[in-house]
């Protein structure tokens, strides 16, 4: 493998490891368990799961893979804090989570290292000339970290 392929491989492994960990955690919790808060007065576990689902869904257009599958999740899990809107059931959320990840994961393995360092769709070609770090790969790493961060919040309380 070339150096760039090895660098990319490590990042995709870390992404997948976190995604698997999140799936194992959230998919294994009951409807009641998902209603628990991570700390008194803080987000419920179902809110964290829905939030991560909405963020993954937004990666589809951001990385140029296609339109969002569940943009309606943003209303509940991105634009408003927990408890402001009714949340979907655990079964529904699980279906969304699996559907979105099944759309993401074949696509990310098809991109070449050069495509990963190309701009994502939220940055204009002009801005990208000045800020070449605003590329797909940077998003992959920050979303992997975002997953790990919320896993840290969820675990111990789940």
Q: Is 135 helix (H, G, I), strand (E, B) or coil?
A: strand
CB of 74 to a second copy, least distance (A): 22
CA distance 158 to 151: 10
Using the CB atoms, write b or e for 79-89: b if 16+ within 10 Å.
eeebeeeebbe
| Between 70 and 154, CB nearer to a second copy | 154
CB of 44 to a second copy, least distance (A): 13
Name the helix (H) or strand (E) containing 114: helix 113-116
| Between 66 and 152, CB nearer to a second copy | 152
Angle (deg, nearest 10), helices 45-62 and 90-110 = 30
Q: Which residues bind a second copy (CB under 8 A)?
A: 1, 3-4, 6-11, 13-14, 18, 38-39, 42, 113-114, 116-117, 132-133, 135, 137-138, 141-142, 144-146, 148-153, 155-157
CB of 128 to a second copy, least distance (A): 12
| Between 3 and 30, CB nearer to a second copy | 3
Q: Which residue has the tokens 């050069």?
A: 114
CB of 102 to a second copy, least distance (A): 23
CB of 80 to a second copy, least distance (A): 18
| Between 42 and 79, CB nearer to a second copy | 42
| Between 14 and 35, CB nearer to a second copy | 14
CA distance 96 to 65: 17
CA distance 43 to 25: 16
CA distance 74 to 95: 16
């Amino acid at each position: 493998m070339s150096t760039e392929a090895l660098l990319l491989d490590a990042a995709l492994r870390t992404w997948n490891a976190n995604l698997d960990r999140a799936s194992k955690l959230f998919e294994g919790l009951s409807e009641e368990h998902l209603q628990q808060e991570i700390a008194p007065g803080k987000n419920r576990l179902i809110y964290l799961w829905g939030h991560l689902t909405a963020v993954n869904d937004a990666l589809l257009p951001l990385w140029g893979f296609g339109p969002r599958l569940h943009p309606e999740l943003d209303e509940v899990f991105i634009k408003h804090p927990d408890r402001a809107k009714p949340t979907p059931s655990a079964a529904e959320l699980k279906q969304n989570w699996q559907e979105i990840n099944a759309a993401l994961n074949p696509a990310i393995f098809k991109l070449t290292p050069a495509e990963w360092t190309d701009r994502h769709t939220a940055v204009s070609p002009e801005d990208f000339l000045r800020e070449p770090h605003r590329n797909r790969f940077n998003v992959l790493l920050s979303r992997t970290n975002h997953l790990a961060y919320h896993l840290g919040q969820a675990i111990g309380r789940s």
